[in-house]
Structure 1
């Protein structure tokens, strides 16, 4: 498989970049990372969730340019079908796509109230009322998947759904969201996942170039 390029934003702050990066790792493709310039106003707006559309991450591979995390996932599933980005049965694939689409298009209150920040860790954090239904719905999704497919990942083995919800695990840890034991174990599984450990290690080494992000979020 030809070497690809994945354009990403901040590893500390950008949940969408993390999702695309995890998908590329899961697909087993060879790729180079191309970070965007955080001094560029458009890139900063995108990172701050103010841009009208999200164009990062963006995958360049074999003459194909694809952005939007779900589009990247479907493309990678086509070029690397044995990688297991989607479950093996039709019913489980439909379920995986549904819960992945839900985090892709929804949970805006959660994303704005609990922005990803891998370097931060709060001992306690008051979640405003608008985000609480999002937290509860995510708990329901995780519980359903873990009960149905037996864990340790949402569909047994790592899939698109885990890439989509991995940033949520970081948010729950950063903001001290209380989790039931099985859901806490799922988050521990995500944090112990080799590609996730690689990303976090790089994020912690990232310069604090966007000092005012927490305020602007």
Structure 2
């Protein structure tokens, strides 16, 4: 299987790259520089991915996805947790699971209490403010584990899509014993696209959701019969309110 390296940029090129082409990728070292955090601070977040309940809403009958969900409002350096609410996407953004109000287990207190968690939300908020103008951002946070239960796991069972927000950030938290999981980004209104595989823990793909669509290809176990998984943190930022309000 062909493997394409991600088109990473330096942290100080993030805003310009995102504005120019609608997406940007930072490697792990650039993420640490961008966040002003060391590797240990990010590693401290990772135990949360071992405590994700199964997603009971998968319409393809799969049992390969585990997740939690939390909501925040980010305005400048201020990060306000919001009450639990369902995750909602219209069918025009998610043909498979759109139109449902899906209640997922909340983020754990241990995760949200980590200093790196607040820093992630603040710095990603600064990126979307640079792109779209400073304002309050309505943020949904989704820790995901996609595993190879049944022989295959589908990070985006809905296919190539937009999320109906202003910015999407996909952090790769880790990969274990898998092949596949290629990220694909396409112009929403043009022919151009990129394909690459994130492999470094705490690398990130940031997407201007109005300009590009994205998907991630299925994963399979590296060794037949041995469970593998791919952990990600997806943050979405939207102006004006949460989808479904």
| TM-score, length-scaled by structure 2 | 0.26
Structure with the higher fraction of residues in helix conformation: 1
Q: TM-score, normalised by structure 1?
A: 0.29
More strand by share: 2
